[in-house]
Chains A and B, each alone.
Chain A
């Protein structure tokens, strides 16, 4: 489903070339739930951005659902993202001028799916926000905003879900609720879930944990 081979990301800096990721290789199968963990600055978010095609590597390849995205240009990668990838971000990334419903409809609209509103209503109901469809992000709490983001990720009907520190901006209890919801839906829908976290509690719920340190993959553990 996802294949990363010799993935390297370097950027020039004042002190010479800075290696953010070095030769990271692994494969993720369909339906797997994978946590990428590591200390701050270990390259977790960079790895996620390369896997999702949000950024391009210095060298190495990424295959998403059989397509090598590292050779594609930005617009081609966008097309792949539209079909393959859903996101949940630490800072929610909802569009402030759209209501909860409109935010959830957006990926479907971009893919020109018929009747995106039905789909959006379904997922908003599923995340428990049926009564908040016409609220704007600023009228929702952090937990509610993240639930809207989860609904949007699933409504995109993408087989792969990427989550970047999905509980990073939430208190413990709200974070736990959001995680419950994320895993519950993922199980229901049979999607592949890749999440970046520094929370052990969250990593423990994934079937597999990839650990990064200073840009290198130092462990790849499958959990029972």
Chain B
């Protein structure tokens, strides 16, 4: 792919970024909030897709790591007097460590059993958080987390999260088109062959999991920055399945598909939720339509229709 082509494929992203940068002053606060929420969810969905879409792993309880990141950040800010930047670092690191631990047990198993063990470990984490009132606030969670001033207004939170999202996405992109990322995709397609060419598949997958859970932890921290609270739902398996669906909806073999999936899901949930309390019904119906008519996801559908493949990270043209 020539330099010019590569540059051209980034132009749409650049345009969107510029537009996003100029939005907050001109749109109502509510929309700023929604967009920020989309940013956080998009990061979470992208982090899952690193191991699911690109790695082929059955990461069934990704939300657990998201929650670990969020809770760590909230706990450090509310229960300790450590400086805030420690919280910012500790959240993702804690999530990555949890990912390492859970992943280490899970990569020894194949596919479905990988997923089931992860669900059980993640549910254990949820159960502990759900009941440990003194530490985590139990089913109430923790509210009123004192976020620092520079992110306390909705506009500043918007910019902060947008910038961090962009940085994370750039890093993810670099990782996915590096030899590591390419090998990860090769493992997804044919792990046996990879073993036969000298790749330590398990270690590679584990590294992928650590990266993915690190970003999930970042998303968790950003969630707290936006919402100033945490609750056990962040660790609940339903959220894990929802993120999975976002990846599917957007198209999980593409790079940016999950972002689209997250955007669609969050927007629909908000706007449909205004008219009816039966948002989950609509989501269910949408999902069924998706399964029947668009199995490659929206992004996959678009790229097939229009032939443009700027996002397919591993197919260099």
A binds B: no
**Which residues of B line the A interface, CB within 8 A?**
none
